[in-house]
Every structure is written in structure tokens, then in C-alpha cells.
């Protein structure tokens, strides 16, 4: 098979659990490395317009870095990606109190999310399969949730992430991958020379706590109109009072796999396209990264990378008009998200 998957040891956690690193590679020379710790994508090596390869995702060199990471670099996020207002929700008449870890909100699954768990891992044909069973009551969410995430690479330099989840009790779920990309290379320094296009004509306005107001608003005439290519450097200082993008765009795809966004880096010629079946794509431009000591001596700072987080809408447990994020017994949650890399 042209696509190969191999594995090697990657040290161990502080409590002695051995960690495995998996490498997916194709005949074009592209490679992606993933840990069974948090399902984190540690490296993505792709060529530029001159054929020179570089690692285009932010991350760390060792387990200490990944265990202490507070930025969610490269990680699988669960049980609920993004924010839940007030750190609580009511489902079927019962109220559940969650860990408040982002102002007044619960963020990315709580105190210890799926990004800090060791997943069961296996190679099946040319794919990496990760499974995590979240116990009933973990982070105070109801139901035992079994999540299977499959990473696969093809000969067209496309990395696919497929999600399947079931539950024993009704529970809100929202899964995503939180890779930070810098198409100039992880040590390039910033993303202001990148050009972004989003195939979305509406977005979710936010309140002062970064929670959706419930309105779905057209992007027309706003700084969130990215339907035509926009250079990050021309917008980041204006959006969010200078904090850049941390916004969910509405895709109106009805569960179909669609091209949601494209980011280009003209100096290197690299681009990434994001396709997803999810109703939302969250754009985060890394404002809160500060002096993160990354791979090979690199230090990542503000606007050092961007995230394309395919997901359900934030705080959808409080918004009846948003796409339903509650998974019930007998039903299966599915998602497919594809990151395709190329050169201009």
C-alpha cells in the first residue's frame, strides 16, 4: 500500500503510562505523526512550492510538553468542544454542574478533557484507530460515551479525521481536533502573511463572555466576511478589539462534506483546505499563545498559529435554535473532517 502507518515509543506519562507515536506517510513524502495521548497531532510535514518540506503544526518535543500544554495543541477535544455558558446545562429536567475553567464558562471538556487521556490505539490496514471510553459522570457529564477516531492519509496529501460516538445516557457531545497550523513552518513566527477564505455567509455573534447570543448573523459588511481572500495581517488587529478571530462560522451544509475554508501562505506556496460535515467551523488565530516553548527550540507567541475547529455550535445546550448537540442511546454521532494540503 502506498500509504504506510508505523509506530514507535514516545516515552511515558508522569504516572508511568507508556505512550506510542504513530507515523502516517504517503509516497509523496507527506507524513503526519499522532500520539495515543490525547490523539494529538505532533507533526505534519508537507512540501512548499520548491519541494522543500516543513512541519506546519505547532507542538512539543516530549511528553512533558504535551502533559503540561494549556493551549490544546494538536489535540482531540471532548466531551464538549468550545464553551458552555455558566459551566452548567439542564437536560431532560436535570441540571449538571461542570468545571468552570474559562472565565465563567466551561471550556473544551472541563478540567481534564479527552486531550489529556491515553487512548486505546491500533493500526487497521492503512489507518490509525483511537478509542476512548469516557465513564458515566466523567467531568460530571452523564452517560458512558465511547468515541472512536480514525486518522487516515491519502495520496492527495489529505488527512482525514473520522469520528463515531455512542452513549449509554443522553449527553451533550461536541468533538473536534485543535491543531494549530502555520504554513510557513511551525517556527515561522506568525500567521499575518497568510491569506484566509471562508465559505460561510453567516456567523455567531458573541457576548462579553465569548458566548453566542443565539443570533445567527450574516457576515455582510463585517470583519467576519471572509468569502473573498483576506490577509490575516489586515484584520487581526481590528477583530475582537485586537484579539483576532475566535469565531464560529455557520456552514449550512446539512451534514454533507463541504469545502468550508482555505488558508494560503503565498511566500511558501503552501495551502490548506478544510472540508467537514459539521455545521460549524471555528476560526481561532492564537491570540492567547504566549511564550510557549515548542519543538526544536522554537518559542510560539501571539498569532503564532491558526485553528480550523470543525464542530457543533458553542453553548448549543442553551440554544434550542442551534443544531442539536445531544447524543442519545441508540443513536450514533458521526463526523468527517479533512485537511487537504497543497501548493499554489
Cβ atoms of residues 165 and 323 within 8 Å: no
3-state SS, 250-307, equals ECCCCCCCEEEEEEEECCCCEEEEEEECCCEEEEECCCCCCCEECHHHCEECCCCCEE
Contacts of 38 (CB under 8 A, 6+ apart): 66, 74, 75, 76, 114, 115, 116, 117, 119
Give the catalytic positions in this structure: 178, 309
Alpha-helical (H) ranges within the chain are 63-68
The C-alpha atoms of residue 207 and residue 173 are separated, in whole angstroms, by 22
**82 annotated among ligand-binding-site residues:** yes
**200 annotated among ligand-binding-site residues:** no
The dihedral built from the CA positions of residue 138, 139, 143 and 146, taken in this order, carries a sign that is negative
**328 annotated among ligand-binding-site residues:** no
**26 annotated among ligand-binding-site residues:** no
**79 annotated among ligand-binding-site residues:** no
**201 annotated among ligand-binding-site residues:** no
User: Annotated binding residues, as ranges?
Assistant: 82-83, 178-180, 246
User: Annotated binding residues for beta-D-galactose, as ranges?
Assistant: 82-83, 178-180, 246
Amino acid at each position: 500500500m502506498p500509504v504506510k502507518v508505523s509506530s514507535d515509543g514516545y516515552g511515558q506519562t508522569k504516572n508511568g503510562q507508556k505512550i506510542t507515536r504513530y507515523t502516517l506517510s504517503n509516497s509523496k513524502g507527506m507524513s503526519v505523526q499522532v500520539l495515543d495521548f490525547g490523539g494529538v497531532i505532533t507533526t505534519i510535514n508537507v512540501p512548499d512550492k520548491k519541494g522543500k518540506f516543513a512541519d506546519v503544526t505547532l507542538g512539543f518535543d516530549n511528553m512533558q510538553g504535551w502533559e503540561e500544554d494549556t493551549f490544546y495543541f494538536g489535540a482531540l477535544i471532548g466531551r464538549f468542544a468550545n464553551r458552555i455558558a455558566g459551566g452548567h446545562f439542564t437536560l431532560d429536567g436535570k441540571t449538571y454542574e461542570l468545571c468552570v475553567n474559562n472565565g465563567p464558562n466551561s471550556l473544551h471538556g472541563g478540567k481534564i478533557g479527552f486531550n489529556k487521556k491515553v487512548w486505546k490505539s491500533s493500526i487497521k490496514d492503512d489507518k490509525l484507530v483511537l478509542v476512548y471510553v469516557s465513564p458515566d459522570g466523567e467531568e460530571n457529564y452523564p452517560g458512558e460515551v465511547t468515541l472512536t477516531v480514525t486518522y487516515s492519509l491519502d495520496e492527495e496529501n489529505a488527512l482525514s479525521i473520522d469520528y463515531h460516538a455512542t452513549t449509554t445516557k443522553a449527553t451533550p457531545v461536541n468533538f473536534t481536533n485543535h491543531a494549530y497550523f502555520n504554513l510557513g513552518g511551525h517556527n515561522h513566527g506568525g500567521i499575518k502573511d497568510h491569506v484566509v477564505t471562508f465559505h460561510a455567509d453567516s456567523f455567531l455573534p458573541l457576548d462579553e463572555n465569548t458566548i453566542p447570543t443565539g443570533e445567527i448573523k450574516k457576515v455582510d459588511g463585517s470583519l467576519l466576511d471572509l468569502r473573498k481572500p483576506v490577509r490575516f495581517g489586515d484584520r487581526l488587529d481590528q477583530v475582537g478589539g485586537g484579539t483576532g478571530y475566535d469565531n464560529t462560522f455557520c456552514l449550512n451544509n446539512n451534514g454533507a462534506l463541504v469545502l468550508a475554508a482555505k488558508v494560503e501562505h503565498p511566500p511558501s506556496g503552501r495551502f490548506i483546505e478544510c472540508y467537514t460535515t459539521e455545521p460549524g467551523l471555528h476560526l481561532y488565530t492564537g491570540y492567547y499563545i504566549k511564550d510557549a516553548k515548542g519543538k526544536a527550540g522554537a518559542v510560539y507567541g501571539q498569532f503564532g498559529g491558526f485553528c480550523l475547529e470543525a464542530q457543533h455550535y458553542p453553548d448549543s445546550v442553551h440554544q434550542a435554535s442551534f443544531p442539536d448537540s445531544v447524543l442519545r442511546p441508540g443513536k450514533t454521532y458521526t463526523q468527517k473532517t479533512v485537511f487537504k494540503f497543497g501548493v499554489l
